[in-house]
Amino acid sequence: MKLDPNTFQFNIPASRSITFTVTDTDNIELTGTTGSDGYYFFNVPYNGDTNPRTINVQALFQPDPNDEAKTITDSYNVTVTDNKVISENFDNYPPGTTSFRNWQSLFGPIVVSPGYNSPQSIRLPQNSFFYADFFNHSSYEYRFAVKIGNEDLNGDDITRGTISCHGLIKNSYALHVLTFKDKNKLIEDCNENILTSYSSGWIPIKIQINYNWYTNTAKINYWINGVIYGPVYANDVSILSSFTDLSLTCRAGSMWFDNIEIYSSYGLIEQHN
């Protein structure tokens, strides 16, 4: 959010203290100092809640550069929308479909039955992937259900599959946000640290990614089977300035995916200038 005359209808002096009170699920107080142009930028926290609603923001500031004792309190309402970018449950495709609207795939993803609380899902065989491109806002929330195949695989440290964000680059490669290992049925985070283990059956997963342009750090929270893990920080990460994608990759055995939803976390709050 930007505090300026168009928003609060006051000329804000430079280098003056501002206190914001954000009224939402919880009341949050933020403080800062205006820049040399009288502007102050801050992000309104939405606490991961994608339900459409209005967040009230109240600002306490000094409107007169010649009178430091004078303060004014004004308020502004910020609209929250769900900003769902992509939603796919595969129920509108005939069984056996291998080509999908708004998605790219390679080496054999196919619509099969059943799904996760729905009639159909998509099955990825070994060395196949499935991805969707969308505009890069730097902060996204991914939701999906995944089921891991039970094939016997040879090797001690085989990766069954990865969830990647191609808009975030680390060591010249797309950041693997989540990795499924065959040995001991482990799920690893973006730093290859163990989060939890998996079993047979569907696993509901939610991943929130927030990128900090100033520190080149991605802050990631995971919800796996309803349990939160994080935040986890991926350091030394760069970001593509145009398009990104969510990439679902099966590297060995097989994997099923269903109820894929992508939300723009950055866009959950409409931008007000």
SS3 229: strand
Exposure string over 174-191, b if 16+ CB within 10 A, otherwise e = bbbbbbbbbeeeebbbbe
Q: Which residues of the chain have pLDDT under 70?
A: 1-13, 25, 41-51, 63-66, 68, 80-82, 135-138, 156, 241-244, 265-273
Mean pLDDT (the chain) is: 81
Domain 84-268 fold is Jelly Rolls (2.60.120)
DSSP secondary structure letter of residue 267: G
Structural domain spans, the chain:
2-80, 84-268
211-250 pLDDT per residue, tens? 887 888 989 999 999 999 989 999 998 887 555 678 899 9
Q: Are 212 and 220 in contact (CB under 8 A)?
A: no
Give which of 72, 73, 6, 2 is closest to 39, Cα–Cα: 2
Q: What is the pLDDT of residue 76?
A: 75
Tokens coding 157 = 């440290």
